[in-house]
Amino acid sequence: MTARHAREILAVVGIGFLSPFLHAQTMLQIVTESLPNVTVGTAYNQLLATSGGTCSASGTASSTIDDGALPPGISVVPGAGGSVKQWSLQGTPSVAGTFRFTVHLRWTQTRTTPFQQACLDEATKALTLVVDTGAGPGPGPGPGPGTGQTLTVDRTQVTTLYHTGTFPPLNDIVKVSSSGASVTIAAQAVTDSGGPWLSVTAQPATTPASLSIGYSIDGLAPGTYMGRINVTSGSGSPLIIPVTLAVVVDSNVQLQANPPSLSFSSLTGGADPAAQSIAVTVAGLSRLFQATVSAAPPNGKWLTVSPTASATPQTLRVAVTAKDLAVGVYNGTLKLAIDGIPNASVNVPVTYTIQAPVQKPIISAGGVLDAAGFGKAIAPGSWVSIFGTLLSGTTRAWRDADFQAGRLPTALDGVSVTIDGKSAPIAFISPEQINVLAPDDSVTGLVPVQVKNAQGASDSVLVLQQTAAPALFQFQGTTYAASTHVDGSYVAGPRLVAQGIPGTAAKAGETIVLFGTGFGVTQPAISAIALVPAPLPIARPEDLRVRIGGLDAPVAYAGLISPGVYQFNVVVPQVGEGDQAVVAELRGLLTQSSLMVAVQR
């Protein structure tokens, strides 16, 4: 199991602060409105420009023709063999005519974890493609200046797609040659709309030559723009190369800032806090963005960000200074925005707390509890929450970079915890709460817990340590056990749904999944603070009982799936409809009695 996987599982049960809701986004659309003509026997490659879509950038591209037919020799080709969200009409037509058809594009994202939903983006578009016989006007060879020579090009048409907010398109290169001796050529760019967005330069001015076709996208609104390059040599008819530029706005683009907010703190008279980083990313193409300080009262000078303009992915450096500021809490905002895509912007709140010299960290009396049920006993390998004041100067959960050589981090931003003198891995820190994993220990009874940070070490607080301290995780802010159906959707009755957690109630006879911590050793045994390479069953499953509505619920599986997190697959007994109490018992030790699970008939 990777460090990222461990973090994702903990986020599901509340340790890593998972947000289970997704932002609504626009549907996939085909924005190509028309297709340039093609000549029989001429290679054709035309991008089908798309925008929008709700699925991630990782998936599989496919297509069908729902009505009509493509010209013989032309087919819809997905990008990079289907792994890129892009489709093109490609091939060499063998039959002339006007072909009308409806293309159906699909982008499929499959589930990779039990808590991820499958996703399908699809769009249809009726289009027409005209295949000329080659006898009429259009792109193709042109005669030289009275010598019988013929000009030819390696690309008879050029199509470019520009996504708003990305780097300007690179120049396209078209090679021009003549059938006989070298001839002097001239190239001219002509546009049908949008102003002079098309340019061309011939290097050299005699064949064989290369045409460098450039694009000026400044001021172009979303749409499809048609133009052409006229290549002449002497008095002969020009060779015409059609050029299509599609400008699209991907309305589902959303800048992502990680972390989504920053918190700084310092002491008056002390050094300014260390700068922090924000990773700015966006799904799909790299995007140009600006980073500005949109608010930093009272003087607008204490908050800075650099660089102020860049392309994704980028790591921003955010710094604060206490100069000219008194003791207090200051709130500022960084704005990250992409020109031309207003809905892509994101605001990053920044809080700067300036304090008078403070005391060492303080653990509250009775402030060491199991992190699932907030019971007063802990056990090696159980998640533990420590409450107090001045525990940390920053607020954050562990990140991928905190995992070194496959080991769980035992310090975050200089904050560490020991239980019975042994270092405990830390998943989350904040001034008033720390979440840690109890380390391996053979001692039972009262053991000391201590927090250390840059200000010093707290006084030790005693907590009861047992060989097991079972507790079930619950949906945050509720009295309902964190549980799912076997398909990964949440078990949630009407009351839980009303609190914003989507799902359906369990049914008698159905197998559901519960999650807990503190259920003791596994078979085979594993270190309490190790990453879990594969699920491990608990050592003595016969010691475990789970009851729903007072009736025994058969346990199909019970084991460790991630550091400190146990999974229980149980069958709902024949109980009545409504909220039913759920409790697990391990060798006479009971989980919290207040938890419920919703059951329907």
Domain that holds residue 496: 471-600
Contact yes or no for 318/333 (Cβ under 8 A): no
Regarding whether 581 and 562 lie in a shared domain, the answer is: yes
Look at residue 462 in the predicted model and tell me its pLDDT: 96
Within a domain: 66: yes
Within a domain: 14: no
Name the nearest CA neighbour of 597 among 583, 589, 558: 583
Name the nearest CA neighbour of 584 among 509, 535, 514: 514
Q: Which class for 438: exposed (0-12), middle (13-18), buried (19 or more C-beta within 10 A)?
A: buried
Name the nearest CA neighbour of 232 among 223, 241, 219, 222: 241
Choosing from 442, 465, 488, the residue where a domain stops is 465
Within a domain: 181: yes
pLDDT digits (tens, 9 = 90+) for 76-118: 888 877 778 888 898 888 777 788 899 999 888 766 555 456 7
Regarding whether 413 and 388 lie in a shared domain, the answer is: yes
Q: What angle do CA 595, 365, 328 make, to 5 degrees?
A: 100
Regarding whether 508 and 433 lie in a shared domain, the answer is: no
Regarding whether 98 and 187 lie in a shared domain, the answer is: no
Regarding whether 461 and 495 lie in a shared domain, the answer is: no
Within a domain: 228: yes
Look at residue 117 in the predicted model and tell me its pLDDT: 67
Regarding whether 481 and 584 lie in a shared domain, the answer is: yes
Regarding whether 569 and 477 lie in a shared domain, the answer is: yes
Look at residue 116 in the predicted model and tell me its pLDDT: 56
Q: CATH code at 555? A: 2.60.40.10
Q: What angle do CA 377, 382, 386 make, to 5 degrees?
A: 65
Within a domain: 3: no
Within a domain: 12: no
Q: Which class for 230: exposed (0-12), middle (13-18), buried (19 or more C-beta within 10 A)?
A: middle
Name the nearest CA neighbour of 120 among 190, 60, 37: 60
pTM: predicted TM-score of the whole model, two decimal places: 0.45
Look at residue 94 in the predicted model and tell me its pLDDT: 77
Positions of the chain with pLDDT lower than 50, given as ranges: 1-24, 115, 135-147
Name the nearest CA neighbour of 563 among 536, 530, 520, 519: 530
Contact yes or no for 400/3 (Cβ under 8 A): yes
Within a domain: 10: no
Cβ-based neighbour number of residue 356 at 10 Å:
8
Regarding whether 182 and 119 lie in a shared domain, the answer is: no
Q: What angle do CA 389, 393, 397 make, to 5 degrees?
A: 95
Within a domain: 1: no
Count structural domains, the chain: 5
Contact yes or no for 589/470 (Cβ under 8 A): yes
Measure CA of the first residue to CA of the last residue in the chain; give whole Å.
Answer: 38
Regarding whether 573 and 475 lie in a shared domain, the answer is: yes
Regarding whether 587 and 526 lie in a shared domain, the answer is: yes
pLDDT digits (tens, 9 = 90+) for 167-180: 889 999 999 998 77
Choosing from 132, 159, 184, the residue where a domain stops is 132
Regarding whether 596 and 492 lie in a shared domain, the answer is: yes
Q: Order of strands across the sheet with 276-281? A: 256-258, 276-281, 314-320, 303-306
Choosing from 193, 222, 248, the residue where a domain stops is 248
Look at residue 149 in the predicted model and tell me its pLDDT: 63
Look at residue 20 in the predicted model and tell me its pLDDT: 32
Look at residue 236 in the predicted model and tell me its pLDDT: 56
Look at residue 13 in the predicted model and tell me its pLDDT: 47
Regarding whether 490 and 387 lie in a shared domain, the answer is: no
